[in-house]
Amino acid sequence: METTKKKFSLKRIGTVGLVIYIVFLIGPIAGLDFPAIFAAIKANPLQLVQFLIIGISNGAIIAIIALGYTMVYGIVELINFAHGDVYMIGVFTSLTVLSLTGTLDSKDPGTIILGLILALIIAVAVCAALNATIERLAYKPLRNAPRLAPLISAIGMSFIIENIGLMWAAQAWLVPSFGTTGGASQKVFPDLLGTLFASLGLDVNLLASSGLALRFTIKDLLVIILASSLMIGLRLFVQHTRLGKAMRATAQNRDAAKMLGIDIDWVITATFLIGGGLAGAAGLMAGLYNNTAWWFMGFRAGLQSFTAAVLGGIGNITGAMLGGFLIGLLASFSDGYLNARWTNAWVFAILVLILLFRPTGLLGEQTGQKV
């Protein structure tokens, strides 16, 4: 037994050594130039803080989406590849509601606030209903099938939703800001929070009065508060509510939970409803933060969010949040100091290194609360 463990450790050390060798081999091509990085930090230390702010803010959006991934996997052990595209539908739903209510062209603070609240409610409702519908139509009939079957079904649903987004983005009669360039191009999501603050006579940059060459906007603050609030609320929900306890029981042993009288079908549907709602909220926040809407935006967001959930320990709510913030920070520092074209490669290289030592993620299932 000890010989087997020793062989496994040596194999793992060898793999890590190989990964480090590859990193240093291709590092200079991918922007890993330590003297240049240290010189850039020394020349402008505040830039490091700025990248930190950007990383945390983007990480907060990734974390909200990752919560949906980790909840679904915790209950049915399914990688819902369509989740990122549900998030994309949340962006388009928000933009459409804001257009139909006349919020996009308004400079009245009351109209903008009401429009944003309405967009948030409708985006959450639409994405929750869409996610639950996907579960009923595509996943439930395959619940007892081999794991590969629902996985393929999830990929298929992802392609279907992407094409719905592609057609939606071409409907300029619905949202005039979509323009006449067709559905494939990226669309502008107006900076409503900037307009709102300007109409109130306030500076969007909360650090403007400090005199520092830093930018920490109301948008950064909102996404961080929203992500933290959702994580805390979700943890409390899972720990203290009847449905949350039913989710935990279902995640631990589905058959035993059924024997205790828990309605497994409703618990799974509720999980998809909550996950979809989170994706809808993330969609509105992402639109307001990045000011873009694109039919293909769910692919990258989904990939990063799933990576965040795995990095933190899939099935673990706190782990998903931690993974989201780490991915955001890694991407921000890579964009700033390395090479933006290699950002995804760096993120996954670090993910591989961490998983070699912590196969269950940073927090793992055994130390956290599995939903």
The pLDDT score that the predictor gives to residue 134 is 94
Q: Which two tokens stand for residue 27?
A: 């590092």
Average pLDDT, the chain: 85
pLDDT per residue over 9-65, tens digit each? 677 677 777 767 766 666 666 677 777 888 888 888 888 999 999 999 999 889 988
Q: Which residue has the tokens 């029981």?
A: 249
68: Cβ contacts below 8 Å, ≥ 6 apart: 80, 83, 86, 131, 274, 275, 276, 278, 279, 305
The pLDDT score that the predictor gives to residue 157 is 93
Q: Which two tokens stand for residue 203?
A: 């500076």
Q: Report the alpha-carbon distance of residue 273 to residue 79 in Å, rounded.
A: 16
The pLDDT score that the predictor gives to residue 52 is 93
Q: Which two tokens stand for residue 213?
A: 């060459």
Q: Which two tokens stand for residue 207?
A: 């650090």
| Calculated CA dihedral for residues 265, 267, 270, 276, nearest 10 degrees | -90
The pLDDT score that the predictor gives to residue 267 is 92
C-alpha pair distances (Å), 293 with each of 160, 167, 341? 18, 13, 21
pLDDT per residue over 85-144, tens digit each? 999 999 999 999 999 998 988 888 899 999 999 999 999 999 999 999 999 999 988 888
Q: What is the gyration radius of the CA atoms in the chain, in angstroms?
A: 22
Q: Which two tokens stand for residue 248?
A: 């935990």
pLDDT per residue over 207-229, tens digit each? 878 778 888 888 888 888 888 88
C-alpha pair distances (Å), 13 with each of 263, 333, 346, 347, 356? 46, 27, 20, 20, 9
Whether 288 and 63 have beta carbons less than 8 Å apart is answered as no
Q: Report the alpha-carbon distance of residue 77 to residue 250 in Å, rounded.
A: 11
For the chain, the residue count is: 371
Residue closest to 190 by CA, chosen among 90, 302, 107: 107
pLDDT per residue over 246-299, tens digit each? 988 888 888 888 888 889 999 999 999 999 999 999 999 899 988 999 999 998
Q: How confident is the model at residue 366 (pLDDT cuts 50, 70, 90)?
A: low
The pLDDT score that the predictor gives to residue 367 is 45
Q: Report the alpha-carbon distance of residue 176 to residue 170 in Å, rounded.
A: 10
Q: Which two tokens stand for residue 237?
A: 């929900």
34: Cβ contacts below 8 Å, ≥ 6 apart: none
Please tell me the pTM assigned to this model: 0.86
Residue closest to 192 by CA, chosen among 218, 223, 228, 227: 218
